Amino acid sequence: MPPRPPLPDWVDREGAVLVDAQRATRVLGAVTPENAAAERARLVRQAEAGRPVVPAWTYARNDRADTRRALEASCARLERERGVLARLHLEKARELLLEARIAEAAGTAAIGPLAEARFGDPLGADGADAALATSRARAWVAEEPSTEARGVISSDARDPGSLVSRLRARVAALGLPFEVVAHPGLASLAAVGERQIFVAEGRPLSARDVERIVVHEIEGHARPRARAANRGLAILIAGTAKGACDQEGYALVLEERGGFLSSARRRELGARHLVVGAMRGGATFADAVQAVIGWGLPPRDAVLVAERAFRGGTGASPGLGRERVYIEAYLRVKARLDAHAADEEVLAAGQIAVREIEAVRGLL
């Protein structure tokens, strides 16, 4: 293979802007309420008692003005450049600029339209991905409720079989540059940051749940990020525009390969997708919880599903709505790898969008 040609002079400068902006923006942290754990416990009690569930979340103030200015200046410079590499940097800079605005809007009605612009557009050119994902979500929610064993191990217990323990063991075995820490307000069971893997505190999990999450977070997220960091190219470290979405799809493909995409998991994913659609159609948090309970999920799970969709919002108006990308991305990544198995090397090299596989292949 011939050596890669020299990179343009601007790459280091604009790449540094992307990496710095990604570190500073931290959308998921910004949209996590300060009182998430206490409110979740209260809302679950309300739901279990059949009473209205109206969240009273509070959010930290998030000022991203410096980050926005740096990204705006970078976009202006990149618009004067030509070529695929310039396009990759420009589209990622615009995506991060939108995420900075989302972070600043946490806790206000302004977050809804911004989040719609970031996560709501159909990623398929003709909207086919979105339509197929919604159809799949409805089918998954309609499946018979699972008879799988309920969780018995606390997510952050000292037990060697807990999620924290299993993630730490896997990180150590692979020599990954991540610290595993418990987080009281996390809406998801686990999440991978730049150098940390966060685990929700006090959530009951089965042994099978634990192994599924280890596959999802380590193989789907942590290892690709470590590979990108080792290559040292900023656009790989930051990821391409829409790369974070398709990485969720890749993680679900890995779950399926491991036999972890069970009926219970499918119903959860389907419910999360449909709740985002309902939210964008005007449903409130209370409406969403009642809908999910009507689909046969227990009240605690219904509150968690609704919380993930509405996080960053007030519960009366739309929140982040990131949950809709999972099934869309899963279907897109699965179709691509079924047709082009060798493309997995690219998808596993960082947060890479399916549509950018050919553009990134040359960088590898």
> Tens digit of pLDDT for each residue in 287-335?
999 999 999 999 999 999 999 999 999 999 999 999 999 999 999 999 9
Are 229 and 183 in contact, with CB atoms under 8 Å apart? no
Q: What is the structure's pLDDT at 155?
A: 87
Q: What percentage of residues in the chain have a pLDDT greater than 90?
A: 86
Q: What percentage of residues in the chain have a pLDDT greater than 70?
A: 95
Q: What is the structure's pLDDT at 5?
A: 64
Are 22 and 98 in contact, with CB atoms under 8 Å apart? no
The mean pLDDT of 4-31, rounded to a whole number, is 91
Q: What is the structure's pLDDT at 232?
A: 87
Question: Read out DSSP for 331-363?
Answer: HHHHHHHHH-GGGHHHHTTSS--GGGHHHHHTT
d(CA 46, CA 144): 26
Please give the mean pLDDT across all residues of the chain.
93
The mean pLDDT of 171-192, rounded to a whole number, is 93
Domain chopping of the chain, boundaries: 11-147+232-361
Q: What is the structure's pLDDT at 187?
A: 87
The mean pLDDT of 1-26, rounded to a whole number, is 86
Are 263 and 146 in contact, with CB atoms under 8 Å apart? yes
What is the three-class DSSP state of 277? helix
What pLDDT digit, counting tens, does each position of 257-292 carry? 999 999 999 999 999 999 999 999 999 999 999 999
Q: Which of the 8 DSSP states describes residue 232?
A: T
Q: What is the structure's pLDDT at 194?
A: 86
Q: Is 271 exposed, middle or buried (0-12, 13-18, 19+ CB in 10 A)?
A: buried
Q: In terms of Cα–Cα distance, which of 190, 124, 193 is closest to 156?
A: 190
Contacts of 73 (CB under 8 A, 6+ apart): 17
